[in-house]
Amino acid sequence: MKKHGVILLMALIICFMLGCQDKETMAELEEFRVQKEVEEQNKKLIVRLIEEMDKGNFDIFDELSSDDYVCHFSCDSSG
């Protein structure tokens, strides 16, 4: 009977350890999924920016950039 108690205890410990690892793995996979979504959105924005600028629509830059964007190079085409 003592032997069965030890086996049951070991089984419970293993199940608990595997359960915790699974939650950590799922959380990590969710972080990767969210990161991938953000990267896909960024790619779409850049493609749109380039397509619009190729058409001569340079106002798209103002539309896609944030209000607090700071240009660190000469953005003025007049020199």
Alpha-carbon torsion, ordered 24, 27, 29, 34, to 10 deg: -160
**More confident site: 4 or 66:** 66
Instruction: Give the model confidence (pLDDT) of 21-70 as tens digits.
Output: 677 778 888 899 999 999 999 999 999 999 999 999 989 988 888 889 88
pLDDT at 15 over 80: no
- Residue 47: inside a domain, yes or no? yes
- Residue 4: inside a domain, yes or no? no
- Residue 22: inside a domain, yes or no? no
pLDDT of residue 31: 92
**Which residues span the domain enclosing 39?**
32-66
Q: Distance (Å, rounded) from C-alpha 29 to C-alpha 33?
A: 6
Domain count, the chain: 1
